[in-house]
Structure formats: C-alpha cells, structure tokens
Amino acid sequence: MGSLDEPDVCSGKGCRQPATHALLWNNPKIHTPERRKAWLACEEHLEPLRSFLGSRGFIKDVVAHEQGADHTV
C-alpha cells in the first residue's frame, strides 16, 4: 500500500483515486480456501471490479478500506 503521505489508490486500470473499499478474493484453482488477495477500489470502480471478480467466482468479501491497511491473508 502507499506511504502515509500518499493515499492507497484504486486498482482500476489507470485510476489514481484514493481507495475506499477492499475487495477480498481468491482463485480456487491456485489459492488455498483461506487465502485472500485484495484489490482496492474507489467508489467509481467498486461495482466494475466486484462484477469482474464475481463473474469468475473469485469474490469473497468487500470491506471498507483505511489508509495503510493490509487486507491480504
């Protein structure tokens, strides 16, 4: 994630907006069931990123993101 001086940014392609949500996911073909990867999202990209991960069956949870938080497991 970013330094304290720079906000954590959205994972949307080309987006530089501050992240407000973390989408927690895993790919069951390559990750153990408890593993969680995280994509960060701004308000604008929350639904497109959730839809992308959801259509593949990867999405596990969506949580609020606070600057500097590490949501991966």
Q: Which residue has the higher pLDDT, 7 or 53?
A: 53
Average pLDDT over residues 60-69: 96
Per-residue pLDDT at 4: 59
Question: What b/e string do you get for 5-40 counting C-beta neighbours within 10 Å, with b at 16 or more?
Answer: eebbbbbbeebeebbbbbbbbbeeeeeeeeebbbbb
Q: How far apart are CA 59 and CA 50, in angstroms?
A: 7
**Per-residue pLDDT tens digits for 4-50:** 578 999 999 999 999 999 999 999 999 999 999 999 999 999 999 99
**pTM tops 0.85:** yes
